[in-house]
Amino acid sequence: MKDCLFCKIASGEIPSQKVYEDKDIFAFNDIKPQAPTHVLIVPKKHIDKLSSLKGTDAELVGKMLLAANKIAKDNGLNGSGYRIVGNCGQDAGQLVFHIHLHLIGGRKFGWPPG
């Protein structure tokens, strides 16, 4: 989609530190990491927010989660654990309106989130 930051990153138009790519998914390091590992997993297809997902996106969402698990494993996080976060809308603090999962790990996180 024109004028979407994550569409431009996924297509390579805007540079990023890529950590994973397949035909449907692109993943890259967050520019403002909140943990030693902080990777954003985005679909190449533009979808504005998680609440816009349709039944036909089920496989894509599954692939996003599996990509997050693979990246966590590749970063040695399987033993210590990690968190996968998806912010949807204003109250969750969604800043970029192209769906993404945050994979964060390498330190302890509190619960519930603030």
Which residues have a catalytic role annotated?
A: 100
Q: Does 108 bind ligand AMP (CB under 6 A)?
A: no
Q: Minimum Å distance from CB 16 to ligand AMP?
A: 5
Piece of 27-35, 47-55, 62-70, 75-83 that binds ligand AMP (CB under 6 A) = 27-35
Can residue 16 be called a binding residue for ligand AMP (CB under 6 A)?
yes
> Are 44 and 26 in contact, with CB atoms under 8 Å apart?
yes
Residue in 67, 54, 80, 65 with CA at minimum distance from that of residue 26: 67
Residue list 28-57, contact with ligand AMP (CB under 6 A): 30-32, 40
The answer to whether the CB of 79 falls within 8 A of the CB of 106 is no
Give the C-alpha separation, 38 to 15, whole Å.
Answer: 17
Binding flag, residue 87, ligand AMP (CB under 6 A): yes
Q: Which residues bind Zn ion (CB under 5 A)?
A: 1, 4, 6-7, 46, 98
d(CA 68, CA 62) in angstroms, rounded, equals 10
From CA 56, how far away is CA 48, in angstroms rounded? 15
Identify the CA nearest to 27 among candidates 38, 40, 43. Answer: 40
For ligand AMP, the closer of residues 69 and 87 by Cβ is 87
Number of residues that bind ligand AMP (CB under 6 A): 11
Rounded to the nearest whole angstrom, what is the least distance from the CB of residue 85 to ligand AMP in the complex?
A: 7
